[in-house]
Structure 1
Amino acid sequence: MQIIHNHPFSALVFETDTTLSDLNQHVGHVARDLAADALASGLDLAGPVYWVYEGADGRPDTRFHLTIAQPVLGTADAPTRYTRREMPPFASLQQLHYGPWPDLCAAYQSLIGAAMQQNLKLSGISRELYIQMDWEHPQRNVTLVQVGVDGMI
């Protein structure tokens, strides 16, 4: 696997400190609200929604920082309810996951294993980009999982 260098982008963001056990309270409605707010403010949607995990370790009760980011373009004609900020460049190993989100752990295990094999230092940040979402048929979900790396150990 090779390191992918992702470019910075502008986004409307929702941020909170949470745990994996409490993630469901943010599923669905935050992304809808971000997109609706962007469109109502005159911004264009510029890509799929990102969930950015800083300090998550896979344990259900570990507190970490979550950013849900909707990429946007343009200048807002009206105020937005959310913060607009530049998401930084991001170096990662990445893998597409097809299927339900509870099965994402396999993608993380594969990516972390590849990082260890290549003697790469993990950054402590991971991202999930929701390419295709299907609430009724979760086996149709397509998620790009990115595990951040800082270079060689």
Structure 2
Amino acid sequence: MQLNTSPPLHVLSFSVRTTLADLGKYGVTVPKQLYAEAALLGLLVTGPLRWRYLGADGRRDTVFTLQIGLPVERPAHPTEGILFSFEEWPAFYGLAQIHEGPWELLHETYGKGIEWLLHEGYTIGPEARESYLNVDLVVPAFHRTEVHIGIV
């Protein structure tokens, strides 16, 4: 486990108020749409897909803000009529750890990270992020996700 700061990101972004129980609605559809929009605009994708959880507390029914961001280059010209917005996500400090395997087991990785942070005397912040380093929808055991738990 490692504490680090993720640099700021320029992303093509989708945002919604949702719950952990409803995350499945966004897992494949929104990323496909973000990649299609980036291609339509001729933008270079500059990093892996990111999910940003603002106000999630681990309970399945708590409503929080989910942002799904695709890091892209800044457009050379103003864009209008696009499906998503461009945003600057700020730098982010916290515990980074790698989760390998199905996303249904992500809660175990979060649990270990939160336990370690609390044991070390850190205060958990209101934000967490995930970077999808490898996605394999046929063999979920090959998923590789960086989990980043914010601290204050």
**TM more than 0.5:** yes
Displacement of 1:2 after TM fit?
A: 3.7
The percent of aligned pairs where both chains have the same amino acid is 35
1:3-152 to 2 correspondence within 5 Å? 3-76=3-76, 78-79=79-80, 80-150=82-152
Query: Distance in 1 between the 2:123 and 2:38 partners?
Result: 36
* Aligned counterparts of 2:38 and 2:13: Cα–Cα separation in 1: 10
Kindly indicate which of the two structures has a greater share of residues assigned to strand: 1
User: For the aligned residues, what is the CA RMSD?
Assistant: 1.2
Kindly indicate whether the alpha-carbon contact (under 8 Å) linking 1:41 and 1:76 is maintained by their aligned counterparts in 2. no
**CA–CA distance in structure 2, aligned partners of residues 9 and 67 of structure 1:** 13
Contact 1:43 1:76 in 2 (8 A): no
Where in structure 2 are there 5+ consecutive unaligned residues?
Answer: none
Taking the aligned partners of 2:132 and 2:5, their CA distance within structure 1 comes to: 19
Q: Which amino acid aligns with 2:94?
A: S
Question: 1:38: how far off?
Answer: 1.1
Residue aligned with 2:127, SS: strand
Give the TM-score normalised by the residue count of structure 1. 0.93
Tell me how far apart the structure 2 counterparts of residues 131 and 6 of structure 1 sit (CA, whole Å). 14
Q: CA deviation at 1:76?
A: 5.0
Task: Tell me by how many angstroms 1:50 deviates.
Answer: 0.6
